[in-house]
Amino acid sequence: MNISTIVIPAAGFGTRFLPFTKTVPKELLPLINKPALQEVIEEGVRSDIKNFCIIISEEKQAIKNYFSHNKKLEAALSLTGKSALLDDINQLIDQCTFSYPLQREMKGLGHAILMAQDCVKEDFFGIMLPDDIIVDEQPCMQQLIEIAQREQAAVIAVMEVPQEEICAYGSIKIGTTLQDDLVEVVDIIEKPKPEEAFSNLAIIGRYVLPTAIFDAIKAITPQSSGEIQLTDAITHLAQNGHKVLAYKIKGKRFDIGRPAGWLAANVYLEARR
């Protein structure tokens, strides 16, 4: 199983950070001195991935600009001997390829992922949600890729959360237990009330999925809100002959899609430096 592409959905409005996100994409919020999206892409690179397919909207061209050379700035920094300030980001730009499919309507995570269909060439690919920052010795994406390759299966990242918090996540229904930290997924419910949750194993924003997910996204019925949920499409796979596993990831996870989580991630990363 060869996995060379990661899809990153980044078209959302970032409403939790308004008014800041009126003009600046939330994916470019800083983690210390670096946009959160760069931190996510670096996790992908450390997992041996070079192709990144970033789903954006027309209003989020700043993301495209960030992952392109800025010749004027480079020339100015070189005159003052400060070129090294851009070394990390320029290495990333030179090392990776980026594509930017547009999501023109906000119709849910499943819909966003569907926009990446033409970017994915192999049978399996990764998805990283940029709201989730996961810090561990072994990059989280690599943890999933290793299991996907060993088990020849789709793998989604999960972690145990307190029952009252499961309403913010997809909750998985566990089938066979393969090992302490690896279980089979037979069903998923998206953001359930605590009493309706299948388990307290919550989906975290890292996935390895087969390209069959694109047909599954097209096959499922949107929710009454019109949103097309990725979790419904993954359930569709699991219930139609695909092996879908959930892996309890190692590492510390921050939800930087919320101001408190973003702040906590900054404090933690600064202390680690």
For ligand G1P, the binding residues (CB under 6 A) are 109, 129, 131-132, 169-170, 190, 202-205, 230-231
Task: Compare residues 129 and 237 and give the one whose CB is closer to ligand G1P.
Answer: 129
Task: Compare residues 89 and 200 and give the one whose CB is closer to ligand G1P.
Answer: 200
Task: Compare residues 53 and 201 and give the one whose CB is closer to ligand G1P.
Answer: 201
Residue in the shown chain whose Cβ atom is closest to ligand G1P: 170
Task: Compare residues 76 and 263 and give the one whose CB is closer to ligand G1P.
Answer: 263
**Nearest distance, CB of residue 190 and ligand G1P, angstroms:** 5
**Nearest distance, CB of residue 14 and ligand G1P, angstroms:** 11
**Nearest distance, CB of residue 139 and ligand G1P, angstroms:** 17
**Nearest distance, CB of residue 157 and ligand G1P, angstroms:** 9
**Nearest distance, CB of residue 91 and ligand G1P, angstroms:** 29
Task: Compare residues 44 and 170 and give the one whose CB is closer to ligand G1P.
Answer: 170
Rounded to whole angstroms, the Cα distance separating 40 from 27 reads 10
